[in-house]
Amino acid sequence: GMDGKGAAGLPCATCHAESNPPASYGAHAPPGAPHWSLPPAAHKMAWIGLPADQLCAMIKDRSSNGDRDFAALIKHVSDDKLVLWGWNPGQGRAPVPVPHDIFVTQFKLWADAGGPCPVVGS
């Protein structure tokens, strides 16, 4: 879907609830968190394989990050329930490998420094 929330007539929320299903559902049950979605088609956030300088620029770019300044980005990575789901992804899925509190501390350090980006090749 263009809005990232599923196809017409089959939104993500048809299968993905506001929280993970109970363990009794077993493996391969659809996980859940509030506002389950992908980024909208116009603001794709495809990170896999991006070099660090481009990833850094994309995260800061308000035209692609949901119009978030650093304060809003910090709130997003600290509190957003869909982001937090990454640390509690449900049965059979590996959580984000960095503990959430360390991730947020490092993110704040980066933001407080003005969000410097690496210079690739140096």
Piece of 10-18, 42-50, 70-78, 106-114 that binds ligand HEC (CB under 6 A): 10-18
* Residue 91 in the binding site for ligand HEC (CB under 6 A): no
- 101 vs 68: CA distance, rounded Å: 21
Count Cβ atoms below 10 Å from residue 65 Cβ, excluding itself.
17
Q: Is 93 in the site for ligand HEC (CB under 6 A)?
A: yes
| Of residues 96, 93, 76, the one with CA closest to residue 35 | 76
Size of the site for ligand HEC (CB under 6 A): 13
- Applying CB under 6 A, which of residues 20, 31, 59, 110 lies at the interface with ligand HEC? 31
* Residue from 8, 9, 28, 122 binding ligand HEC (CB under 6 A): 28
Residues that bind ligand HEC (CB under 6 A): 6, 10, 12, 14-16, 28, 30-31, 36-38, 93
